[in-house]
Amino acid sequence: MPDVRTALISDVMECAELLKILFSQEHEFTPDIETQSRALSMIIENPELGKIFICEVDGVIEGMVMLLFTVSTFLGKKVALLEDMVVAPESRNKGLGSLLINHAIAFARREGFGRITLLTDGDNDAAQQFYRSKGFSQSEMVVFRKLLD
């Protein structure tokens, strides 16, 4: 039976392995286990930054999703950025992604967040369809980023 829970520091390596899968699929990212482990640890050790939820099946982490926290001046509330939603390839299409995202949405509602925002690759039709099925809608906003040294 799948179980969704908040990630612990002891889960970092398994989560970093999942991120390796995710970042290998995405156009703009290259996996780096050390970097991802450091970032995961930073979030777990500083819960004011966000929450990482994992889905375990028989004691093995098969999926994860992360909510990073900020504030919307428009809404006058806390908001979350949903990041790094990934399910191990052999565990896909079994409802684990739905368990994870439903858990994240329930957490955000319970904690009084006003919005969850996410990004996905423009050509990832399966992900876009999944997020729409969970009540997300596509924004007219355009993403810009500047990498800092």
pLDDT digits (tens, 9 = 90+) for 23-63: 988 777 888 999 999 999 999 999 999 999 999 999 999 99
pLDDT digits (tens, 9 = 90+) for 12-25: 999 999 999 999 88
CA geometry: angle at 63 spanning 59 and 68, to 5°? 120
Asked if 79 contacts 117 with a C-beta cutoff of 8 angstroms, the reply is: yes
Residue 85 structure tokens: 């939603």
Q: Does the predicted model carry a pTM greater than 0.85?
A: yes
CB count within 10 Å of CB 92 equals: 14
**SS3 category, 108:** helix
Instruction: Write down the CATH number for the domain with range 3-133.
Output: 3.40.630.30
Q: How far apart are CA 10 and CA 113, in angstroms?
A: 28
**pLDDT at residue 24, as a whole number:** 86
Report which of residues 66 and 121 the model is more confident about.
66
In this structure, is the dihedral angle defined by the CA atoms of residues 84, 95, 130 and 88, taken in order, positive or negative? positive
In this structure, is the dihedral angle defined by the CA atoms of residues 55, 58, 59 and 60, taken in order, positive or negative? negative
| Pick from 94, 96, 86: nearest CA to 120 | 86
Domain ranges of the chain: 3-133
Residue found by looking up tokens 């640890």 in the block: 41
pLDDT digits (tens, 9 = 90+) for 81-121: 999 999 999 999 999 999 999 999 999 999 999 999 999 98
Strand partners, 78: 71
Amino acid at 29: F
DSSP E strands, the chain: 3-6, 50-57, 60-72, 77-87, 116-118
**pLDDT at residue 100, as a whole number:** 98
